[in-house]
């Protein structure tokens, strides 16, 4: 099969399968509801929780506090599970959290090569690229190539540390605080913290980008 | 198992493609598939390693042609079929055709927040000392179990250094078969050239979290 044929086939396939899947899931929910296994109101709340409450803004608040409060930063690096609980974050897919700190010499990056392990309480649900074959295959072998895909390059002399989340330990990258935000409140600092900077595939924003 | 899910280091055409301003879900069915999967674990009684195995244990062409939540859905259907919670003709027709199987618990709306907050901690009480200490050199075993494992192929048979000790955790290889058999869990770090040879990047170190039985002294 040529790549053109393949693409063409794949496109049609996706299109029809999308609506087919939509119908399939709707039917499945009906079956499970009628059998009394699931409560649609509970499903609504699960969705609402991860669409509106649990997301990377939580992690940004954690990072902003670590940037502002050296004692909190020390607690975060010592026991991240306990430290995030101070801000009210805990639970599913973050039961055993470890924070890893970027320095001028060391850049951390987190991946799950086997599936999609990701620290939900602080980052929410993972983006599609994090779960994709290109990221999962490349992050452990060519992390600089991954960073290039994200459009940045580390300064020469920076080592890379890749954390493959193969157990129930979840990793949160503590990025370096950008210069030029001295005296900022935690709330404003959190605006600098991007999701990707907490995975290690990006850097925080610069103060002029949000000022 | 040595399945298509074990992707570390596999040569892959094409770059990582981040989506600007990506939504949490891309379709209504993804929302429902996600929530049904979380909610069904309670009446279903399966654990996370059973779920992972149900997703990954499929032919590579099947795993690779499905989108992420399509894999979740396929795994969920398999778990429910195996336990007789739904029947094949119900999945096929999309209609409830048989009486429900009695289940111990279901997830109510009121219980959602507490369930998420509690999560599923995997740390267990230590029954004996850890075999390895931070700084020890260890070699990962060359294993190819046909069942679930969390030791990726790209680190098998390689020498690394113990960097962290995480306590005793439920062992996924046995947990996927219904036995927790908790073991000491370590972060083991490998040099780029140890994993990838002379073409590896010497300025990169990569770690996995490895249970004690994955390791032997080096």
Please indicate whether residue A116 is annotated as part of the active site: yes
Which of A24, A32, A163 lies at the smallest CB-CB distance from B40?
A: A32
Q: Is the pLDDT of residue A7 over 60?
A: no
| pLDDT computed for residue B71 by the predictor | 98
d(CA B146, CA B137): 28
| pLDDT computed for residue A12 by the predictor | 46
Chain A residues within 8 A of B111 when measuring between CB atoms: 42
**CB spacing of B40 vs A46 below 8 angstroms:** no
Closest residue in chain A to residue B95, using alpha carbons only: A31
CB-CB contact of A68 with A189 (8 Å): yes
Please indicate whether residue A165 is annotated as part of the active site: no
Please indicate whether residue A117 is annotated as part of the active site: yes
Chain B residues within 8 A of A116 when measuring between CB atoms: 68
- Here the tokens at position B215 are 């390791």
Which of A27, A29, A39 lies at the smallest CB-CB distance from B109?
A: A39
Chain B residues within 8 A of A129 when measuring between CB atoms: 16-19
- Here the tokens at position B41 are 């674990």
| pLDDT computed for residue B64 by the predictor | 95
| pLDDT computed for residue B204 by the predictor | 98
CB-CB contact of B98 with B87 (8 Å): yes
d(CA A14, CA A176): 41
| pLDDT computed for residue B12 by the predictor | 74
pLDDT tens sequence across A35-73: 999 999 999 999 999 999 999 999 999 999 999 999 999
Domains of chain B: 28-118 (1.10.472.20), 123-217 (2.30.30.50)
Closest residue in chain A to residue B80, using alpha carbons only: A32
| pLDDT computed for residue A68 by the predictor | 98
Average pLDDT taken over every residue of chain B: 97
pLDDT tens sequence across A84-141: 999 999 999 999 999 999 999 999 999 999 999 999 999 999 999 999 999 999 999 9
**CB spacing of B18 vs A129 below 8 angstroms:** yes
CB-CB contact of A84 with A153 (8 Å): no
B143-162 mean pLDDT:
98
| pLDDT computed for residue B11 by the predictor | 86
Q: Which residue has the higher pLDDT, A181 or A3?
A: A181
Chain A residues within 8 A of B15 when measuring between CB atoms: 134, 149
Residue pairs between chains A and B whose CB atoms are closer than 8 Å: 265
B81-104 mean pLDDT:
97
Instruction: Give the sign of the dihedral formed by CA A138, CA A139, CA A142, CA A148.
Output: positive
According to the annotation, is A19 in a ligand binding site?
A: no
Element (H, E) at A68: helix A56-68
B152, exposed or middle or buried, with CB in 10 Å at 0-12, 13-18, 19+? Answer: buried
| pLDDT computed for residue A2 by the predictor | 35
Closest residue in chain B to residue A160, using alpha carbons only: B204
| pLDDT computed for residue A9 by the predictor | 42
Picking from A75-84, B5-14, B112-121, which range would have the lowest pLDDT averaged per residue? B5-14
**CB spacing of A137 vs B10 below 8 angstroms:** yes
Q: Is the pLDDT of residue A5 over 50?
A: no
- Polymer length in residues for chain A: 211
B55, exposed or middle or buried, with CB in 10 Å at 0-12, 13-18, 19+? Answer: buried
pLDDT tens sequence across A157-201: 999 999 999 999 999 999 999 999 999 999 999 999 999 999 999
Strand partners, B137: B161
Closest residue in chain B to residue A138, using alpha carbons only: B9
According to the annotation, is A117 in a ligand binding site?
A: yes
Instruction: Say which of A16, A117, A132, A185 is annotated catalytic.
Output: A117
- Here the tokens at position B77 are 């259907």
| pLDDT computed for residue A14 by the predictor | 52
Q: How many CB atoms lie under 10 A from the CB of residue A168?
A: 24
Please indicate whether residue A132 is annotated as part of the active site: no
Instruction: Say which of A3, A116, A132, A165 is annotated catalytic.
Output: A116
| pLDDT computed for residue A4 by the predictor | 39
Give A15's pLDDT tier (boundaries 50, 70, 90).
low
| pLDDT computed for residue A8 by the predictor | 40
Q: Is the pLDDT of residue A143 over 90?
A: yes
| pLDDT computed for residue B218 by the predictor | 96
Give A11's pLDDT tier (boundaries 50, 70, 90).
very low
């Amino acid at each position: 099969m040529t790549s053109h044929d393949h693409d063409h086939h794949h496109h049609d396939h996706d299109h029809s399968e999308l609506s087919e899947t939509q119908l399939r899931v709707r039917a499945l929910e009906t079956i499970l509801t009628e059998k009394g296994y699931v409560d649609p109101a509970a499903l609504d709340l699960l969705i609402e929780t991860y669409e509106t409450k649990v997301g990377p803004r939580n992690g940004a608040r954690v990072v902003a506090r670590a940037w502002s409060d050296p004692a909190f930063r020390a607690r975060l690096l010592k026991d991240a599970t306990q430290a995030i609980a101070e801000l009210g974050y805990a639970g599913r897919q973050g039961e055993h959290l470890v924070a890893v700190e970027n320095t001028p010499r060391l850049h951390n990056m987190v991946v799950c090569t086997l599936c999609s392990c990701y620290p939900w309480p602080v980052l929410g649900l993972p983006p599609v690229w994090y779960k994709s074959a290109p990221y999962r295959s490349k992050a452990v072998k060519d992390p600089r190539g991954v960073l290039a895909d994200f459009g940045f390059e580390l300064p020469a002399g920076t080592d890379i540390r890749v954390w493959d989340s193969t157990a129930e330990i979840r990793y949160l990258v503590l990025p370096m605080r950008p210069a030029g935000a001295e005296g900022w409140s935690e709330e404003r600092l959190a605006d600098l913290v991007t999701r990707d900077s907490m995975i290690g595939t990006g850097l925080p924003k610069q103060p002029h980008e949000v000022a | 198992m040595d399945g298509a899910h074990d992707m570390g280091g596999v040569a892959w055409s094409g770059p990582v493609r981040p989506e600007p301003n990506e939504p949490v879900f891309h379709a209504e069915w993804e929302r429902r598939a996600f929530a049904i999967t979380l909610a069904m674990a309670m009446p279903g009684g399966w654990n996370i390693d059973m779920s992972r195995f149900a997703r990954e244990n499929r032919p590579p062409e099947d795993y690779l042609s499905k989108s992420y939540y399509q894999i979740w859905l396929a795994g969920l259907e398999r778990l429910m079929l195996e336990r007789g919670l739904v029947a094949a003709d119900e999945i096929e027709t999309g209609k409830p055709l048989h009486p429900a199987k009695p289940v111990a618990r279901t997830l109510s709306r009121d219980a959602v927040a507490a369930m998420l907050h509690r999560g599923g901690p995997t740390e267990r009480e230590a029954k004996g000392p850890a075999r390895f200490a931070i700084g020890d050199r260890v070699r990962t075993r060359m294993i190819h179990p046909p069942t679930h494992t969390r030791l990726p192929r790209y680190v098998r048979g390689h020498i690394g250094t113990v960097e962290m000790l995480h306590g005793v955790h439920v062992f996924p290889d046995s947990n996927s078969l219904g036995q927790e058999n908790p073991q000491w869990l370590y972060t083991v770090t490998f040099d780029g050239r140890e994993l990838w040879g002379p073409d590896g990047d010497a300025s990169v170190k990569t770690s996995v979290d490895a249970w004690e039985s994955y390791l032997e002294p080096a």
